[in-house]
Amino acid sequence: MIERHLNYIAGEWQPAFGGTTFEDRNPADERDLIGLFPDSDAADVTAAISGVSAAWPAWAAQSPEVRADVLFRAADIMARRADEIATELTREEGKTLTEARNEARRIAANFRLYAGEALRLNGETYPSDSAQLVLSLRQPVGVVAVITPWNFPLSMAARKLGPALAAGNGVVFKPSEITPLMGQRLVEVLLEAGLPPKLVALVQGKGAKVGQAITASAGVDALTFTGSYAVGRQIAASLSTDTRVQLEMGGKNATVVLVDAAIDKAVATIERGAFGLTGQACTGTSRVLVARPLYAELVARLEKSASAIKVGPGMAEGVQMGPLATRVQYDKVLAYVGIAREEGGRVVGGDALREADSNLAHGYFVRPAVVSDLPETSRLWREEIFGPVVAVRPIDSLDEAIKLADDTEYGLAVSLVTGDLPSVLRFARETQHGIVKVNSPTTGVSLNAPFGGLKHSSNQAAKEQGGASVMDFYSRIKSIYLGA
């Protein structure tokens, strides 16, 4: 029996106005139909914005304690349901059950963090050159559009929905069409926690229709998006100048290994950053720069380590890497492996397992790939792949490491493996990346720390996560002069 899911608009679960649907399938077994979801269009978006516009002023008028209590309850519900939802996440997106559980359990922490921020939305008082009292207060921006990616469909959404609601806004939420069930589950949790029924709208559908309708609407006061640079650029170009926008986009992240680094530590750091989450993380390691004396040994060790990774369905016992999330991603990764060979690179791995293993014949499985001996001008070295493919090249100095790490249009995350403190301090100061990791993978960030990149990785209007700094995006500051 096919499960049919609905939008949530103006306090009601309802199909798309046009009546059309799209399929959601398991990337580990494309025969497995998860369900049908509304294929929404501009009419659904208009209704969603209208409903949220009418609802948010009453939410903004509530005390911060009321808003915080809803988020605290949502955290408790999410904590209870984490394992159940993680199983659904693995089925829908493909990541291993361990990775899915880590993400699902993190949502409770996200909601608790922003529940606390609801209680800390402080204004300030200012010295005045007159008898007036000058002060400021924070107010919500109004209707916030939240557009999230498929690779972290729970955590990316929670770190946008949480602060938006804590600040007193209403939300029009458009999850990725690749992971629509996770978007629905988050809305269900918030409603169960007591969120006013019309305050959040869930609009499922394709980005080409729903996303464009959202950006074209004059009823959106702020928009937050995480995804590719190409889509982010389109969003920025189509929004009204009155709409504040936060864009977190791609990355071509490097791990730098200096000559004093322990090989075991370096290999483990690279492997986790490059092949964890099937390489489908915006902060994933895509390039490795290794001190020349360590180069040959590190490449050999990394090739051996990558070849030993067990690939398969995320639910299966002992699996370390799941499938790619879509057929599009699968074809893209294989195409880049072919490009690496055409460009003269040495490629170990990168083969299509669905053709090689009958147990994997219906999923989007590839073996992780290590590519060496590529020129720095190669496409594989310069373009974002978003899959388990890592390119390695030697370096002869810290100066060269900084230059090559920064020689990309992106500037999201970079990692340095070394025990030399002066090199760490210099690298951290000079590199043009928003996140600098030392002796740890490019992936994995603290939920209370600011997250964001430089250059084409972000529009740098506001950080995407963290504490008080995030609330600047979701609230407006108003100055008030009180005379006698």
Which amino acids are annotated catalytic?
248
How far apart CA 448 and CA 463 sit, in angstroms, is 11
First-to-final CA distance of the chain: 71
How far apart CA 236 and CA 374 sit, in angstroms, is 34
Q: Positive or negative, the Cα torsion across 204, 206, 209, 210?
A: positive
Q: What residues form DSSP beta bridges with 347?
A: 371
How far apart CA 95 and CA 321 sit, in angstroms, is 7
How far apart CA 318 and CA 311 sit, in angstroms, is 9
Q: Which of 7, 88, 4 is nearest to 40 (CA)?
A: 7
Q: Please count the residues of the chain.
A: 484
DSSP-assigned states of every residue in 172-187: EEE--TTSHHHHHHHH
Q: What are phi and psi of 178, to 5 degrees?
A: -85, -25
Measured CA to CA in angstroms, residue 454 lies from 141, 196, 243 at distances of 25, 37, 21
Number of Cβ within a 10 Å radius of residue 335? 11
